[in-house]
Each structure stands twice: as C-alpha cells, then as structure tokens.
Amino acid sequence: MTKKKPPSELKKRGKGHPPKPYYPDRHPEWVRGMASRGSTVQEICTAMGVSRGTLYAWKKAHPDFLAALSVGRNETVSRLRLALHKRAEGFTKPSIEQKIIEHPDGTTTKQVIKKDEYFPPDVAALKVSLVNLDPTFKTERTESEITGRDGKPIKIEWETVGK
C-alpha cells in the first residue's frame, strides 16, 4: 500500500511561474504595434515573453489591452484590403534608374532616368475581391444534375448477393 504524498510534495502543473505583471503604460502600445504589423498571437506571446494563457487573461482583465489588439488587427486588415484592391485594379509605380556613362575622354556622367513601371490587374486578386465584396458574384462553382432519358429520374436497381 502506497502512502499519499502531502500537498507540499506534489508536483505543480505547468511551468509553476507566477504570471508576468501587466504594465498598462507599456503593453497596450506594444501589442497594437505588433498586431498592426500582422504578427500572430504566438509571435506576440514570444516577443512579450508570456504564454497564450497570460495573453488571453490580459485580454479579459484589461479592456485597454483588448482594444489595442483590436485596433492593431484592424490596421493590418485595412492595409491588406487596400493592397488587394490596388493589385486587383493594376497600378503604375514610378521608378528611378541611375546609369553612369563613361565617355571616351575618361570622364563620367551620371544619368537619372525616371520611368513608370506598370503592374497589370491580377485575376486572382480580382476574384478574391469580388467574392468578398459582391454577394451576387458567381465563382467557379458548378452544379451538375444527372437525369435519365427525357429528364426523368434514373432508376437504380441492386441486389444483395451472398446472404
């Protein structure tokens, strides 16, 4: 028969560390910045040195932390929507090319060429935008219906063998 160990000798679950303290003057701005750059929850936890549980506890306990996280995520979503829209429509990007020209007399001159680089509309970006923004847009889903002669139902017959 084995004796039960006293509570002081039992192993604690988890890492056994007390939760990290929350700093209202630092953490909300930190999480907003990371979320606005598109960081995942795991990346935010790693950078802050906290577990997911601590992060979720801070979200529940501190409305300013939750609001900052939401604002950061919304900033990312807004930027991505604009980028997708821009890519779907196509765009022109100004670029500058610099050339150094060597002359026969040994002198060199610098030539700056300004030109526009054109990016045509992207069909995949167009499709994603339309699917998300226009509920009437039909995607490539097709429906198939198999019917018998003259549009009548197909008669299916089977028999069980071996019983």
Q: Per-residue pLDDT for 57 more than 50?
A: yes
- pLDDT reported for residue 3: 60
Domain-embedded: residue 143:
no
Residue 9 lies in a domain: no
pLDDT, tens only, 18-53? 778 999 999 999 999 999 999 999 999 999 999 999
Tell me if residue 100 falls in helix, strand or coil: strand
Residue 15 inside a domain? The answer is: no
Domain that includes residue 114, residue range: 20-138
pLDDT tier at 6 (50, 70, 90 boundaries)?
low
pLDDT at 12: 47
Structural domains of the chain, count = 1
Q: Is residue 7 part of a domain?
A: no
Q: Is residue 86 part of a domain?
A: yes
Judge whether 163 lies within some domain: no
- How crowded is the C-beta side of 1, counted as CA atoms within 13 Å? 1
> Which residue type occupies 106?
G
Domain assignment of residue 149, yes or no: no
**Comparing 15 with 102, which gets the higher pLDDT?**
102
CA distances from 72 to 10, 40, 52, 53, 55 (A): 42, 11, 18, 20, 15
| Domain-located, residue 26 | yes
